[in-house]
């Protein structure tokens, strides 16, 4: 893709957004700042979309009401997958999204959210503090975006299937709603990946337009009702060990903010980052119990499927690195960081967690 051409043309015909005028100047005549934030998530998801509202409220409170952000759900002013274009073009000041939705522009976007066999939630946050954020900031600058981590789902579930998948052969021809880079990996195993916004997944699954769908985990999945039409619930989502949610700000709008308000927005996003994962960690266990009681058939992906997916993922990483210098640069840093992280987790976190799992059952 010619990025310079993309920057010139983004915001014109083809973006497909409801609002067509450029965002207003940051500072209103009253001295207050009023921004709009378009989310990629529906209002029904009180943790994902709720993160946008949480950020907006914290900014309001910390600024004494001087900095006001209004959150909009997917489709209200911008389609779910149109928010990056809208922020880049300064049609809207802010967005809340998962960056892997935009791998069609550049696969490097995925590192800001999650990549197959990558990092868990805590490790993803650690990567940002360990050099990842600087690398991603350099990349995002090409798209006129300032990005801030503002949530994490933790390790996700592998999704809901209308029929059992026990072998690699069972995946062939499967129409699977799956977001981000994982669709490219699963394509090597014969899966037909489809990226569908959260609010549109259930009808597609119910009608049989798709055979399976993944979203986040029990807390959200229960709300979306997938268990009613696809009873087989697999784990883990090897493609999303800890998915980061980002807040995007148009780069010129960000640079035009007073330093105090930049600090406030950064702090609000950091607080949202903690809030979101904590809310999922608290809500997932009871939701999983309710889903099983309602008839969900819980099962792990087989070792054969996991091994085949690992092999396919590494093939895709190698191919993509060869085609994209940006991807290769970040992938090399990311992989080295991941390997060191799991060395430490093997010593401490994993040993503690596995003991506690055995003790709980004792």
- Asked whether residue 200 carries a pLDDT value surpassing 70, the answer given is yes
Model pLDDT, residue 229: 96
Residue range 108-158, pLDDT digits in tens: 999 999 999 999 999 999 999 999 999 999 999 999 999 999 999 999 999
> So what's the pLDDT on residue 23?
59
Question: Does this chain's domain 3-153+242-282 share its CATH topology with 156-239+297-324?
Answer: yes
**Percent share of the chain, pLDDT over 70:** 91
Q: Are 164 and 230 in contact (CB under 8 A)?
A: no
Give the fold, CATH level 3, of 3-153+242-282: D-Maltodextrin-Binding Protein; domain 2 (3.40.190)
Q: Please report which confidence band the pLDDT of residue 15 belongs to, taking 50, 70 and 90 as the band edges.
A: very low
Q: Is the pLDDT of residue 5 over 70?
A: no
Question: What CA–CA distance (Å, rounded) separates 76 from 90?
Answer: 17
Count, in order, helices (H) and strands (E) of the chain. 13, 11
Whole-angstrom distance, CA of residue 176 vs CA of residue 174:
6
- Measured in residues, the chain has a length of 362
* pLDDT of 9 above 50: no
DSSP 171: G
Q: What is the DSSP letter of 347?
A: H
328 neighbors 191 (Cβ within 8 angstroms): no
Confidence band for 17, pLDDT divided at 50, 70 and 90: very low
At 180 the pLDDT is 76
Q: Is 90 exceeded by the pLDDT of residue 342?
A: yes
At residue 267, the pLDDT reads 98
Residue 179 pLDDT class (50, 70, 90 cuts): confident
Mean pLDDT of 335-352: 96
Q: What is the pLDDT of residues 258-308, one digit of tens each?
A: 999 999 999 999 999 999 999 999 999 999 999 999 999 999 999 999 999
**pLDDT score recorded for residue 4:** 40
The structure tokens listed for 64 are: 């004494």
CATH of region 156-239+297-324 = 3.40.190.10
CA distance 6 to 304: 42
DSSP conformation letters of 123-150: HHHHHIIIIIHHHHHHHHHTTTEEEEEE
- pLDDT tens, 204-253? 999 999 999 999 999 999 999 999 999 999 999 999 999 999 999 999 99
Q: Note the pTM of the prediction, 2 decimals.
A: 0.90
**Domain residue ranges in the chain:** 3-153+242-282, 156-239+297-324
Q: Please give the DSSP secondary-structure letter assigned to residue 34.
A: E
Mean pLDDT of the chain: 92
Instruction: Give pLDDT, residue 198.
Output: 87
218 Cβ neighbours under 8 A, 6+ residues apart? 157, 283, 284, 285, 287, 288, 290, 291
Question: Is residue 223 within 8 Å of 44, Cβ to Cβ?
Answer: yes
pLDDT (0 to 100) of residue 22:
57
């Amino acid at each position: 893709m010619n990025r310079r051409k993309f920057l010139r043309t983004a915001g014109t015909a083809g973006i497909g957004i409801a609002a067509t005028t450029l965002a207003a100047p940051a500072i209103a005549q009253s001295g207050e700042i009023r921004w709009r934030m378009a989310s990629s998530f529906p209002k029904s998801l009180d943790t994902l979309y709720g993160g946008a509202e949480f950020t907006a409220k914290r900014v309001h409170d910390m600024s004494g009401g001087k900095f006001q952000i209004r959150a909009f759900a997917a489709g209200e002013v911008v389609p779910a997958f149109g928010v990056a274009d809208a922020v880049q073009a300064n049609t809207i000041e802010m967005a809340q999204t998962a960056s892997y939705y935009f791998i069609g522009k550049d696969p490097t976007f995925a590192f800001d959210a999650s990549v197959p066999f990558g990092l868990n939630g805590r490790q993803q946050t650690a990567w940002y503090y360990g050099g990842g954020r600087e690398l991603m900031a350099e990349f995002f600058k090409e798209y006129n975006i300032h990005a801030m981590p503002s949530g994490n789902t933790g390790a996700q579930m592998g999704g809901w299937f209308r029929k059992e998948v026990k072998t690699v052969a069972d995946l062939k021809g499967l129409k699977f709603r799956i977001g981000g880079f994982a669709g490219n990996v699963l394509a090597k195993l014969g899966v037909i990946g489809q990226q569908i916004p959260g609010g549109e997944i259930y009808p597609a699954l119910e009608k049989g337009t798709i055979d399976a769908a993944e979203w986040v985990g029990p807390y959200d999945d229960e709300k979306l009702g997938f268990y009613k039409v696809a009873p087989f619930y697999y784990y883990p989502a090897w493609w999303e060990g800890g998915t980061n949610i980002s807040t995007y700000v148009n780069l010129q709008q960000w640079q035009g903010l007073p330093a105090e308000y930049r600090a406030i927005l950064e702090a609000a996003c950091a607080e949202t980052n903690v809030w979101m994962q904590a809310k999922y960690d608290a809500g997932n266990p009871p939701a999983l119990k309710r889903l099983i009681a309602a008839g969900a058939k819980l099962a792990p992906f087989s070792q054969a499927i996991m091994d085949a997916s690992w092999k396919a993922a590494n093939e895709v990483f190698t191919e993509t690195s060869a085609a994209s210098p940006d991807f290769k640069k970040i992938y090399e840093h990311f992989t080295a960081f991941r390997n060191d992280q799991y060395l430490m987790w093997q010593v401490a976190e994993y040993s503690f967690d596995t003991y506690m799992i055995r003790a709980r059952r004792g």
